[in-house]
Amino acid sequence: MDGALVPREQAVVSVFDHGVLYGDGCFEGIRAYNRRIFKVGSHIKRLFASAAAIRLESPYAHRQWIDSIRQTLDANGLTNAYIRVVMTRGVGTLGLNPFRCPAPTCFIITDSIELYPPSLYESGMKVITARRPRNLPAALDPSIKSLNYLNNILAKIEAIDAGVLEAIMLNHEGYVAECTGDNIFFVKGGRVTTPPVSAGLLEGVTRRFVMELCGELAIPCGERIFRMEELKAADEVFLTGTAAEIIAVSQVDDELIGNGAIGPVTRRLTEEFRARVAQGAPED
């Protein structure tokens, strides 16, 4: 926290911090595999882009963030971990004015995470279509990975109420955007398709890596807008994310995807992803 290693019980944030009061700040979720920090350069670059978008200046340079992540991993004795990097506006007044916060609050958590049960990676997961739309980009740009995740949380509550763990969110025009915490892909006739960033989604680091994998494996892959009807008619659907990695979708609402089992393209990408990170996760 703010340049010093502290035990978990001492890692506290002021009640006057604008991150607590208003969700004013940004963050990144990152993975470490065998002491290699997966795509850490891309994650920290996105952290700085989010901060710039909300006019929040980091007190630490790009390299300092990466060095501090390694230091925190070492302090916890972790070789495989989930990493949360957070930068809030900092302590300020009870008013909205962000420029009355003299210095950001910065902290790094390294721990473990299990977003979905291991069994779902073998069977595929059921998801629903959320009634709540994704934020309108002109109002709150989803490309900013901010601390205000209430839009996602409310859609996540819909999923939990329906007895599933994820929900697909549509944009204000009714096109598929992303899920509450994951990006989404579908496969039809061997071709992989995912919504473009312009559909109103956060461009995931794992999403981009999977698209690059498709290119290396000669799997046709592209971006375009589409509606739920096309998604439900797909041969395969899968989600990607830092915590989720790659996970197949077996059912959307009341409709099976394909034959309800993990499809060959999803399986191939999953196996290749796991092999790449096991052999030496790329850090750039």
Percent of the chain at pLDDT exceeding 70: 100
Amino acid sitting at position 75: A
**pLDDT at 284 (0 to 100):** 87
**pLDDT at 172 (0 to 100):** 95
Q: What is the mean pLDDT of residues 44-60?
A: 98
**Reported pTM:** 0.96
Residue 244 phi/psi, 5-degree rounding, is -75, -25
**pLDDT at 148 (0 to 100):** 94
Under the banding of pLDDT at 50, 70 and 90, the label for residue 161 is very high
Domain with CATH 3.20.10.10 in the chain: 120-280
- 120-280 maps to which CATH number? 3.20.10.10
Domain with CATH 3.30.470.10 in the chain: 8-111
CATH C-level class of 8-111: alpha beta
- The CA-to-CA distance between both ends of the chain, in Å, stands at 24
pLDDT of 74 strictly over 90: yes
**pLDDT at 83 (0 to 100):** 98
Q: Which one of the listed residues 45, 145, 188, 232 is annotated catalytic? A: 145
Under the banding of pLDDT at 50, 70 and 90, the label for residue 227 is very high
CB 238 within 8 A of CB 266: yes
Q: What is the mean pLDDT of residues 101-128?
A: 96
| 145 classed as catalytic | yes
Coil, helix or strand at residue 249: strand
Strand-pair category, 245-252 with 221-223: unpaired
Amino acid sitting at position 167: A
Angstrom distance (rounded) from CA 32 to CA 30:
7
Angstrom distance (rounded) from CA 266 to CA 133:
27
